[in-house]
Amino acid sequence: MSGTRFFLLLIAFLLCVALSHAQGTTYVVLWFDTEDYIDPISDDAALRVANDLTALGVHGTFKVVGEKARTLDRRGRRDVIEALGRHCIGYHSNWHSIQPAPAVRLQHLGLMEGAGEFERCERPGFEDVGRIFGVTPVCYGQPGSSWAPQSNLALRRMGVHVYLDAGTQLGYRDQPVWYGGLLYVFNMGPYQLRADLDNHTPIQETFRQFDDAVSHFAGSGGGLISTFYHPTEFVHTEFWDAANFAHGATRERKEWVLPKRRSPEDAERCFGVLKAYVQHAKSLPGVQFVTADDLLRIYATPIPPAVDTATLARHFTESVTFLSLPSGDLSAADILLELLNIPVRYVDGPTAAGITTYQETTIPAVAFDSTLQDVKSFIETNHRLPSEVFVGSKTLSLVDFAATLARLLLTPGPIQVVHGKLGFEGCFSTDSKGAFNWPIHPDGFAPDELLELARLQGWTLKPARLR
């Protein structure tokens, strides 16, 4: 081989290496809501799914309902518990579809009281799953669409840092976000994919969508696909809870009925669909399966980057919302803390929509200085943002305070009151009926208060970034 030829081949090889590093990875989180505690055949379905995945060399995430774990324990199904235990274990509520469902219980409660109620009702099931599986569940996701923003605070207290589910209450660009102090994999749009067990969407069409996502992520620094099933789906043609608890119904245990089963041949076909989907994903270069636990390692920590005050203040005068920079992402709360010169820490959003009653166009420096001291003390004491701040006996809403402070930092001198503009509200659903639609919720359930509280916690929202 001539020297020139060798040199050209070397360049080509180095280019290939460089390109393969530049190609973004497609991560796939594959999760199973393990919840049917009525029909024992779903225990076998969970066992089969877990063993199939183990044979394929793939780790899934099994979000287990408290009563399901207790039922497996009562039925002596150590085989199921051990097979699932080879994968990642999450938590999927204590009773799932027994009323009041989480959103029904929390709909009229504020942030703090709701968090207390969520923890009171959900911690026992969380601990049961932990005790029975011998591990602390690493993620949570609500039953059906029964989501509530107060759960975030409670989950952090319980040591959970990943919210893994599908929902439309909040989201940003169909990828994970940090919200309420948790890594949220939630509203994933076209990146929530699954091979339909009943072939309503032909599997070849799903493969095409999957391949499109992989090539999109390859060229855009990587991303996440979320895929979920329920073990019960492989052996039933209807959901166990729809057969018993539809439209908010309550039914005594002795009256519970079994959901309609698939034939053994049909169930076998369904297990085959999952296997084909996983094998297809595995066959593509640049695709990697991850568990809920892995997510905390592949995403960068939410600690905000150091950014000069002028950049942050200028951003807030345009829009009070999160900011993405090459060095990292800052939530609106991160930015406000930075402007107030409070050391980096996680704070919750306000508990209510505050209002501005202060009517003057300027604030005396001495009065604003007292306001600043008061706000800092509130945040450092409560670890959350105030709904409104006081200027004497009058108030500024939090957004007006933030915009006023930002302007002052950019333009020292007389303190002009600025009415701020919130920029993150578009990340939240305004359709309470649609967002909470679930056959188990009472008819007409539309908890506007939960979406209002969700938007207030939008101060904590920012995109999550792959390391």
Which is nearer to Zn ion, 137 or 304 (by Cβ)? Answer: 137
Smallest distance, Zn ion to C-beta of residue 448, A: 24
Structure tokens at 178: 């940090």
Using Cβ positions, the residue closest to Zn ion within the complex turns out to be: 33
Q: Which residues contact 88 (CB under 8 A, 6 or more apart)?
A: 59, 60, 61, 62, 138, 139, 291, 292, 293, 294
Query: Which of these ranges, 6-14, 31-39, 314-322, 371-379, lies near Zn ion under the rule CB under 5 A?
Result: 31-39
| Interface residue with Zn ion, options 33, 36, 43, 52 (CB under 5 A) | 33
Using the CB atoms, write b or e for 381-400: b if 16+ within 10 Å.
eeebbbbbbbbeeebbbbbb
Q: Which is nearer to Zn ion, 34 or 317 (CB)?
A: 34
Q: How far is the CB of 127 from Zn ion (least distance, A)?
A: 19
Only one of the segments 19-27, 34-42, 151-159, 246-254 lies at the binding site for Zn ion (rule: CB under 5 A); that segment is 34-42
Q: Cβ(26)–Cβ(286) under 8 Å?
A: yes
Cβ proximity to Zn ion: between 241 and 338 the closer is: 241
Kindly tell me which of 237 and 361 has the beta carbon lying closer to Zn ion: 237
For residues 100 to 139, the per-residue mask of contacts with Zn ion, x marking binding by CB under 5 A and - elsewhere, is ----------------------------------------
Contact call for residues 294 and 394 (beta carbons, < 8 A): no
Residues 6+ apart with CB under 8 A from 173: 463
Helix (H, G, I), strand (E, B) or coil at 33: strand
Residues 195-214 that bind Zn ion (CB under 5 A): none
Does residue 35 belong to the site contacting Zn ion (CB under 5 A)?
yes
Closer of 146 and 317 to Zn ion (Cβ): 146
Nearer to Zn ion, 228 or 289 (CB): 228
The verdict on 233 binding Zn ion (CB under 5 A) reads no
Written as one letter, the residue type at 199 is N
Specify the stretch interacting with Zn ion by CB under 5 A; choose among 32-40, 169-177, 260-268, 395-403: 32-40
CB of 94 to Zn ion, least distance (A): 12
Cα distance between residue 454 and residue 297, in whole Å: 26
Q: Which stretch binds Zn ion (CB under 5 A): 30-38, 263-271, 377-385, 418-426?
A: 30-38
Beta carbon nearer to Zn ion, 33 or 400: 33
Nearer to Zn ion among residue 143 and residue 171 (C-beta): 143
Phi first, then psi: give them for residue 311, nearest 5 degrees.
-60, -45
Minimum CB distance to Zn ion smaller for 140 or for 172: 140
Distance CA 428, CA 458 (A): 8
Q: Can you tell me the distance from the alpha carbon of 336 to that of 332, in angstroms, rounded to the nearest whole number?
A: 6
**First-to-last C-alpha distance (Å) of the chain:** 41
Q: What phi-psi label fits residue 96: left (phi over 0), alpha (psi between -120 and 50 degrees) or beta?
A: left
Task: State the minimum distance, in angstroms, from the CB of residue 241 to Zn ion.
Answer: 8
Minimum distance of Zn ion from residue 239's CB (angstroms): 9
Find the helix or strand (DSSP H, E) in which 330 lies: strand 328-330
Site for Zn ion in 384-413 (CB under 5 A): none
Subset of 142-181 contacting Zn ion (CB under 5 A): 143
Query: Residue 294, interface with Zn ion (CB under 5 A)?
Result: no
* Least Å from the CB of residue 428 to Zn ion: 23
Please give the angle made by the CA atoms of 306, 164 and 320, to the nearest 5 degrees. 40
Whether residue 434 contacts residue 168, with contact meaning beta carbons closer than 8 Å, is answered with yes
Pick the closer one to Zn ion by CB: 145 or 356.
Answer: 145
User: CB of residue 466 vs Zn ion: minimum separation in angstroms?
Assistant: 28
The total number of residues written for the chain in this structure? 467
Minimum distance between the CB of residue 72 and Zn ion, rounded to whole angstroms? Answer: 16
Minimum CB–partner distance for residue 98 and Zn ion (Å) = 12
Nearer to Zn ion, 102 or 350 (CB): 102
Q: Tell me, what amino acid is at 307?
A: V
Helices first, then strands: H and E counts in the chain: 17, 16
Which 8-state DSSP code applies to residue 87? S
Phi, psi at residue 229, to the nearest 5°?
A: -140, 175
Q: How many residues bind Zn ion (CB under 5 A)?
A: 3
| Contact residues for Zn ion, defined by CB under 5 A | 33, 35, 143
